[in-house]
Amino acid sequence: MLRQPRLATTLIPLRSFITLLTLYIAVGSYVLYISYSSPIIGIEVVKQDDRLVIEHFEYPDWAELHEISKGDILIAIDDFSPYKLEHVAPDGIVRSAKTLTVMDATGNNKEIIVLYHELPKAFSHFFILPLIYFLLILSLAIYLYKQKSGNVASLNILIYFLLTVSLAYCSVGASTQLHPVGSIVNSTCLILCLVLLIHFLQKYFAFLRIPWRFNKNIWILYLITVCVFLVSMIEIFNSAFFTLNTIIILLLFVALIFYILIILATSYTRDRSIQLQILFWFIVLPFLPFVIFYVLPELLFQQTILSPSTCAISLLCIPFTFTFMQVTERLFDVDYYVSRIRYYVLFAGGMTVWLMIGIDSFLSISILTNIGIALFIFISIFVLLCVKEKIDYVYRKVLFSTNGNNIHFLYSIIDKVGKEIKMEDLFNTLSDQLMKQLEMNTVYVIHYDMETEQISLANAQSEENRHQLQLTPKDLHQLQVGSIKKFQTFYVACLHRNIKTKYFLILRTNSKIHLKKEELLWLELLLHYIDNFVENTQLVEDLMFELKQAKEGQNYPAWLHKLCWLQLEEVKSQLGQELHDTILQEQIFLIRELDNLLYERDRNLVQQRILQIHQQLITINVQLRLYCEQLKPPLLQTLGLEAALTKLFNQTEQRAHFTLMHSIEPLLIDDNEMSLLIYRLIQEMLNNAITHSKATYVKIELRALSQGFHLFYMDNGVGCHLEDLCLSGTMGIIGMKERVAAYKGTMVIDSYPNEGMQFDITVNKGG
């Protein structure tokens, strides 16, 4: 049973790769030698009276050079009788020859030695271009193997594809001569390259995460290639198969081309990615000349418009397209370059047309001169725009941008990094996000001590990463905050610097990398944000360390002592102000009343005034007691929370003008702090209701939770907009929020003008 060929997730083993290149060099060199040893002449002959009469020349300039004309009789080819030509050229075309013997109309025989330098077009089509392409593909295959860039699964197939296309093109000359080896190599590789192309697309779609909705049994296509190879072998022994084999190969070629186009077209309609768009156009355009001018005319009319060697030139860009797509994820930004080139071409083209209209209006010059000037202007403007872009990036940090995705990624990373409160967590989050965004294998942060010149890892990475760095102290000293420097396989970016240390970001991949300009600019901006984050995070870490020491019973830091004293002084100031504005003013008033009574003669009036003063002193005493109870509720520690709240509710009902409904569940709370928190919250709610709400109805519910409580407040007062509540800065509401937040609880406020106010508070000590 045949199985679908599968490529491993690792690259081709070195020994297998060397064997593959050896086979490629051997076959390619042999078919090129065949092409060179016997030049292609393309003389069409017809049989008349047992003679082969020349009817058409593929290269009329060469025929004119040797004074050969139509109607001349072909006597011998390579010193052999032309009547033995049937098994070599069944279609009646003398394809190649080293020597020719021709009899002209006067009966004179001519001995002609065929030399390639007399056939420059044939020499370039059948030897020079294939040789150059052969060497380019060989170099490209070695480069791709050494780089190991992009998707490894499709990279293996890409190397096979490149070598196959090269052999198919290099064997065009030998196949044109109907050499057995050339015919077999050309026919087999022509179909095999398309099969490999389909296999490449399948792997590349998986790399792009695009669903493959077509036949997954690629082995069937490889089986067809084997059949083509067998039919080509049969043709060697039986020339009758020449026409049939040609038709079969061309039909398969057209079918596979249309299958590839269907794959790309249908996939692009579902997933309009820039990679599919480029693949589609770079396959459609090169294949159109070959299909339209050679394949279809040959199949339909048995006559071609252009020779296959001429049409094949357009196919040479296809392997380079797939190489570009393979390595483009790291070497190039496809969307960026395509958009930039399109923009520059339109601008340069428009300016060229405008300038040429002006030149034609004032000067009378030939068409060829116009074309030359237009081409010079177009290229000059295009190059000028490219140079301007480079200068703008280097000196002004201005870059042509195609989309705003990088701004989104920058915002996302800053948002995630800004939530970290530890240095190591900050570096780990930054490394993870950059690995995803820049597609790096490893991203980590190192710590550099400028005094001892020691390097250590600042976040969780293997220690071997540090030893793999080939950095000198000079390199690290020269890098300033926000600067980026590229080394062989990694980038180094300076994150932060203080008096003694520096932090550096290391971005590494398994192969040589090249960050895009837009990514470098984006990374530089991110570094400046991270510099501030690192500085602030260090302050937070120092603060947390000092608080931890204080919690463990060690010496409290001086700033904490100062903060506590300042808070204490602020509380004293508020209390003193309240006492001054209330009780003290009433006592001053009573003192003045007593001073007036010293000079009063009417005993009854004095006695009446003393009774009033006595009553006022009792009221002052009640207010003072109320202040003391507010500062420290006496019943809270003696009789518990429920008794303290009951008294608070009674006092409120005496002072307030609203109906108070309350429901208090017994709480099993041993924590005095929690009881005080509940008391203060309810106390503040009732104070707000008395002072601001203008309510006629207030409801308070307290429910017990497993490790906390749930407190609900509602009134039917004037209410307010929540935005106004936040802007007002009311100390009572702020105090409630801070108390709840200190116990990691939640507080939800709901209010609207003339619809009352609600507080929903939940505090759970278990989190």
Tens digits of residue pLDDT in 424-483: 788 888 888 877 777 677 788 887 888 787 777 776 555 555 556 667 777 777 777 877
Number of domains in the chain: 6
Contact partners, residue 226, CB within 8 Å, separation at least 6: none
DSSP SS3 for 738:
helix
Nearest CA to 50 out of 6, 14, 92, 82 is that of: 82
699 pLDDT tier (thresholds 50, 70, 90) = very high
- CA 158 from chain centre, in angstroms, equals 24
Contact yes or no for 530/546 (Cβ under 8 A): no
| Residue type at position 624 | L
Say if residue 291 is in the same domain as residue 359. Answer: no
746-751: strand order across its sheet = 659-664, 697-704, 708-715, 757-764, 746-751
Residue 544 lies in a domain: no
Tell me the C-alpha distance between 539 and 545, whole Å. Answer: 10
**Domain extent at residue 753:** 639-767
Chain-centroid distance, C-alpha 103 = 71
Question: Tell me, what's the pLDDT at 21?
Answer: 92
Q: In 51-151, which residue ranges form alpha helices assigned H by DSSP? A: 60-65, 120-123, 129-147
Note whether 178 and 203 are within 8 A (CB): no
Q: Helix or strand or coil: residue 302?
A: coil
77 and 225 part of one domain: no
Determine, yes or no, domain membership for 523.
yes
DSSP string, 249-293: HHHHHHHHHHHHHHHHHHHHHH---HHHHHHHHHHHHHHHHHIII
**Domain-embedded: residue 33:** no
Q: Could you count the other beta carbons within 10 Å of the beta carbon of residue 444?
A: 23
741 and 700 in one domain? yes
| Helices 317-331 and 129-147, packing angle to 10 deg | 20
Please compute, for residue 152, the number of CA atoms within 13 A of its CA located in the half-sphere on the CB side: 11
CATH of the domain at 79: 2.30.42.10
Question: Do 19 and 138 fall within a single domain?
Answer: yes
pLDDT value at residue 1: 34
- Cα 720 to the center of its chain, rounded Å: 47
CA dist., res. 73 & res. 84, Å (int): 15
Round to whole Å and give the CA distance between 351 and 346: 9
Assess whether pLDDT exceeds 70 at residue 159. yes
What is d(CA 596, CA 606) in angstroms, rounded to the nearest whole number? 10
Residue 702 sits in the same domain as residue 760: yes
The pLDDT score that the predictor gives to residue 445 is 84
Q: Which residue has the higher pLDDT, 577 or 725?
A: 577
CATH number reported for the structural domain that contains residue 512 in this entry: 3.30.450.40
The structure tokens 């939640």 sit at 746
> Has residue 35 been placed in a domain?
no
Residue the block writes with tokens 């398969």: 252
- Locate 11 and state its tokens: 């690259």
Last-in-domain residue among 76, 92, 114: 114
Per-residue pLDDT, 86: 44
Please state, in angstroms and rounded to a whole number, the distance separating the CA atoms of residues 23 and 12: 15
Residue from 659, 649, 750, 749 nearest 698 by CA: 659
Distances from the Cα of 30 to the Cα of 23, 180, 234, 485, 662, angstroms: 11, 12, 21, 48, 102
Sheet holding 40-48, edge to edge: 93-96, 40-48, 51-57, 73-77, 99-103, 109-113
- If asked whether residues 141 and 289 sit together in one domain, one would say yes
Rounded Cα distance, 129 and 310, in Å: 11
Q: Does a structural domain hold residue 460?
A: yes
Share of the chain above pLDDT 90, in %: 4
- Tens of pLDDT, residue by residue over 292-310, are 777 777 777 767 777 666 7
Give yes or no for a contact between 175 and 41, defined as CB atoms under 8 angstroms apart.
no
User: Within 13 Å, how many C-alpha atoms sit on residue 720's CB side?
Assistant: 14
Question: Is the pLDDT higher at 124 or at 241?
Answer: 124
Which has the minimum average pLDDT: 52-56, 156-160, 178-182, 456-460?
456-460
In a domain, residue 617? The reply is yes
Q: Are residues 461 and 442 in contact, defined by beta-carbon separation less than 8 angstroms?
A: yes
- Is the CA virtual torsion 175, 177, 180, 182 positive or negative? negative
Percent of the chain with pLDDT over 70: 80
Is residue 107 located within the same domain as residue 183? no
pLDDT score of 588 more than 90:
no
Higher pLDDT, 130 or 11: 130
pLDDT in tens, 313-335: 776 776 666 666 555 544 444 55
Q: For residue 8, is it within any domain?
A: no
Contact 183, 235 (CB under 8 A): yes
Task: Answer for the pair 444, 506: CB distance below 8 angstroms, yes or no.
Answer: yes
Per DSSP, helices labelled H in 291-394 are 296-301, 308-312, 317-331, 334-362, 367-391
Q: How many CA atoms lie within 13 A of 377 on its CB side?
A: 19
Which of the listed residues 92, 114, 136 is the one where a domain comes to its end? 114
**Closest to 343 measured CA to CA, from 275, 404, 274, 389:** 389
Query: CB–CB of 341/327 below 8 Å?
Result: no
Over residues 395-420, the mean pLDDT reads 66
Amino acid identity of 465? N
Answer yes or no: are the C-beta atoms of 67 and 85 closer than 8 Å: no
Tell me, what's the pLDDT at 442? 79
- The answer to whether residue 662 scores a pLDDT higher than 70 is yes
| 339 and 305 housed in the same domain | no
State whether 500 and 594 are in the same domain: no
**How far apart, in whole angstroms, are the C-alpha atoms of residue 560 and residue 490?**
45
pLDDT, one tens digit per residue, over 357-387 is 888 888 777 776 787 788 888 888 988 888 8
- Whether residue 654 contacts residue 663, with contact meaning beta carbons closer than 8 Å, is answered with no
pLDDT of residue 604: 81
CB 187 within 8 A of CB 228: yes
Higher pLDDT, 707 or 142: 142
Specify the pLDDT at position 713.
Answer: 93
Q: What is the mean pLDDT of the chain?
A: 77
The predicted structure's pLDDT at residue 25:
94
Q: Are 713 and 759 in contact (CB under 8 A)?
A: yes
Are residues 739 and 652 both part of a single domain? Answer: yes
| CA angle 320–281–215, rounded 5-degree value | 90
Question: What is the crossing angle of helices 558-579 and 517-551, to 10°?
Answer: 70
Entry pTM? 0.50
Q: Which amino acid is at 523?
A: L
Beta-carbon contacts of residue 387 (< 8 Å; ≥ 6 apart): none
Q: Do 764 and 687 share a structural domain? A: yes
101 membership: H or E segment, kind and range: strand 99-103
Identify whether 551 is part of a domain.
no
Last residue of a domain, one of 612, 631, 650: 631
**One domain, residues 287 and 179:** yes
**Residue holding tokens 């190969």?**
249
pLDDT score recorded for residue 463: 53
Q: What separation in angstroms does the CA of 757 have from each of 402, 717, 719?
A: 51, 7, 5
Mean pLDDT of 558-567: 70
Residues in a beta bridge with 442: 508
Question: Could you report the per-residue pLDDT of 237-280, keeping only the tens digit for each?
Answer: 766 666 777 788 888 888 888 888 888 888 877 777 766 776 77
Three-state SS at 490: strand
